[in-house]
Amino acid sequence: MPTILRLVLAVLFLLVGIALVAIAVLGARSALRRNRWVGVRTAATLESAPAWVSANRVAAPPLGAAGGIALLAGITLVAGPPTALAWVVTAVGLVGAFVLAGIGGALGDRAAQLETASRAAEPQAAACAGTCAGCDLIAGCRPAQA
């Protein structure tokens, strides 16, 4: 593998690895804000803040592992000998990072769906149970008369 190609691939692997590890750490600590750029971004995760937090917490370990594999591949490409091993490291690092990131995303989406379903199943408190002193002033407190 040519030296320039090895260095470019190594830098890409290192940048992706650092980004994935950072996202995993923020997700595990529930410090990742809900956004459209990083984290597990599906319809279920963007529906509510608890679903977002739950999804990114569940996805953190596989995302961290994907970042670790990418970092290891980048370091190996920089420090390793320019042989066929570089191609093997590139292929294994690429496949491993993509597969683990995909698994993290799928697990996170499933966690968000479960979080949303459990919140929908919770009973909702009534706005007024008819015991308030000024029910005439609060719309919807008394049943409508025909």
Report whether pLDDT(146) > 70.
Answer: no
pLDDT tens per residue across span 49-87: 999 999 999 999 999 999 999 999 999 888 877 788 888
What tens digit of pLDDT does each residue of 89-117 get?
A: 889 999 999 999 999 999 999 999 999 88
pLDDT for the residue numbered 6: 86
pLDDT of residue 94: 93
Residue 62 tokens read as 């596989």
pTM given for the model: 0.76
Q: Distance between CA 21 and CA 8 in Å, rounded? A: 20
